[in-house]
Amino acid sequence: MTINTVQTTPFQDQKPGTSGLRKKVPVFAQENYAENFIQSIFDSLEGFEGQTLVIGGDGRYYNREVIQKAIKMAAAAGFGKVMVGQGGILSTPAASNIIRKYNAFGGIVLSASHNPGGPNEDFGIKYNIGNGGPAPEKITDAIFARTKTIDSYRISDAADVDLDAIGTAKVDDMVVEIVDPVADYATLMEELFDFPAIRALIAGGFKVVVDSMSAVTGPYAVEIIEKRLGAPAGSVRNSVPLPDFGGHHPDPNLVHAKEMYDDVMSADGPDFGAASDGDGDRNMVVGKGMFVTPSDSLAIIAANATLAPGYASGIAGIARSMPTSAAADRVAEKLGIGMFETPTGWKFFGNLLDAGKVTICGEESFGTGSNHVREKDGLWAVLFWLNIVASRKESVKDIVTRHWAEYGRNYYSRHDYEEVDSDAANTLVSILREKLATLPGTTYGALKVKAADDFAYNDPVDQSVSKNQGIRILFEGGSRIVLRLSGTGTAGATLRLYVERYEKDPSRHNIETQEALADLISAADAIAGIKKHTGRDAPTVIT
Ligand code: VG1
Ligand code: CO
């Protein structure tokens, strides 16, 4: 077998976004496109000779093809070993766990997460470092710089590896180990949570459904929820990962997981429902009569953390992305622990977790996780909720309403305007940025602007600074709106508007969310000219 050096020319559009490089499959399928990016990753790293690289993805269309390329390029680059999930499958949190457990140098995770899959849909490549987490900006910036100058890549001409047979093979001098994608992850979950209590809850008739949305968590959920926790067969729905996710968006929210939601809300439906996304790092939790917002979920998990064996000795601190509601802040205050506000994207939590400053992290975008790995973790959140329900012997609805009664309720919603014209979206943001200084003191109905800025994050661990992370407009009384452009889309621009209002009075905790936020939503349009710039009357998705 020989290593070939292939001449190539740079692509100018390989800038990693919030979570890796995401493009449509036809873009990735261009000659040398994936190879250029993978080589640029390797060229931006040092000291991996003879080390282990973990490779796996969410099973979407084009997954196997890119895995074969990555294996042959890893061999050419001098890695000693690659560990690949069987069938090319590894959920994002499971990949993070394997990197950590086997002291790998890093990992390549192939996913476009919640974006649809198929020959004309989305694909993605992300690099994770040795702590198991997404590469920090320092590395993604270096990768991007390299993609702009790359002129060749190296690849072995070895035959394709059989990805379906567990065991070891060799590509040139490099060992290829095909591993069970589920086993290590399931073991970790069993260490963290009170499986006997959850098993007893389910055996007692508590009905659980999990919608894996034909994406990566199917095999994990079947093993854990059905086999280890005893839920009846069929409790996990859409459990076979499909390359096109059955034609759906594998996005666990009230729009795309509506069937499961409606089922749980029906009179004789299940007591508890959950869904996860394409690569298994997001979660949605629903109890009968109660959808748990991701921001509330973070706060409630943190407040009840000691009920789970893995967190029995308490948590060190909490971190949330800036647009996530401040519900968790009140929990941190009460517990007397640190609270950190980071930019959007899990890569910003890595340093805080590594330094032991925080134990639990979350984002409003259906992402929650902890120091057990360095990614958000969908099934982990679901199991945490089941653990809390089993320990407290209360319904999800009672747990949430009691939490609000104790801490107050942060009404919260996100409005997404998807596939907006990029120029129009950029114009909206730059006009808004220019008028930030003039906003304080202006009023919109009963709302008065207290402060307005473009969020910048100073990492307390490595002192790195990340600017322009979202525009915040704070009102007197603690309400706020946030606007930012998505960094994960693959067509046009997506404008996200985040709206939050705090309500202490329990007699006002049952207002419909959009109604409770109506004045803030109209203030957002008055301030940012959303309708005018986007030409849209209403958001594409409201969560
Ligand atoms: C979105 C979410 C963000 C999340 C990111 C990756 O990013 O808002 O909170 O970390 O997706 O999630 P953006 O830039 O589109 O707002 V996943 O599950 O798509 O890897
Ligand atoms: Co995801």
DSSP letter string, 414-466: EEEEEEE-HHHHHHHHHHHHHHGGG-TT-EETTEEEEEEEE--EE-TTT--EE
Instruction: Say which residue the tokens 């917002």 belong to.
Output: 293
Q: State the CB neighbour count (10 A cutoff) for residue 130.
A: 16
* Cα angle 191, 222, 543; round to 5: 90
395 catalytic residue (yes or no)? no
What pLDDT shows up at residue 417?
A: 96
What pLDDT shows up at residue 487?
A: 84
d(CA 412, CA 516): 9
Cβ–Cβ under 8 Å, residues 338 and 358: yes
d(CA 331, CA 404): 11
What pLDDT shows up at residue 266?
A: 96
d(CA 109, CA 96): 9
d(CA 151, CA 9): 5
pTM of the model: 0.95
Ligand with an atom nearest the CA of residue 22:
1
What pLDDT shows up at residue 216?
A: 96
| Most distant CA pair in the chain, distance | 73
Q: How far is the CA of 211 from the centre of ligand 1 (A)?
A: 20
Among the atoms of ligand 1, which is closest to the Cα of residue 494?
15
From 113, 239, 297, 479, the catalytic residue? 113
The tokens for 281 are: 């790092």
Ligand with an atom nearest the CA of residue 484:
1
| Full strand arrangement of the beta sheet holding 174-179 | 21-24, 122-128, 106-110, 52-57, 81-89, 174-179, 167-171
Question: What is the DSSP-derived secondary structure letter of residue 92?
Answer: H
d(CA 494, CA 496): 6
Give residues (CB < 6 A) around ligand 1.
Answer: 18-19, 113-114, 277, 281-282, 321, 344-346, 363, 365, 367, 486-488, 496
The tokens for 412 are: 């919260």
Which residue's CA is the nearest one to ligand 1's atom 17?
Answer: 113
What pLDDT shows up at residue 492?
A: 85
What pLDDT shows up at residue 357?
A: 98
Q: Which residues have C-beta within 8 Å of that of residue 78, sequence separation ≥ 6?
A: 48, 49, 50
The tokens for 315 are: 């948590």
How far is the first Cα of the chain from the last one, in angstroms, to the nearest whole number? 52
| Full strand arrangement of the beta sheet holding 290-292 | 236-237, 208-211, 272-276, 283-287, 290-292
What is the block-wise mean pLDDT of the chain (543 residues), using blocks of 10 residues? 94 94 97 98 97 97 98 98 97 97 98 95 97 95 98 97 96 96 96 98 97 96 98 97 94 92 95 97 96 97 98 98 98 98 96 98 97 98 98 98 96 95 94 95 95 96 94 94 90 94 93 95 95 93 91
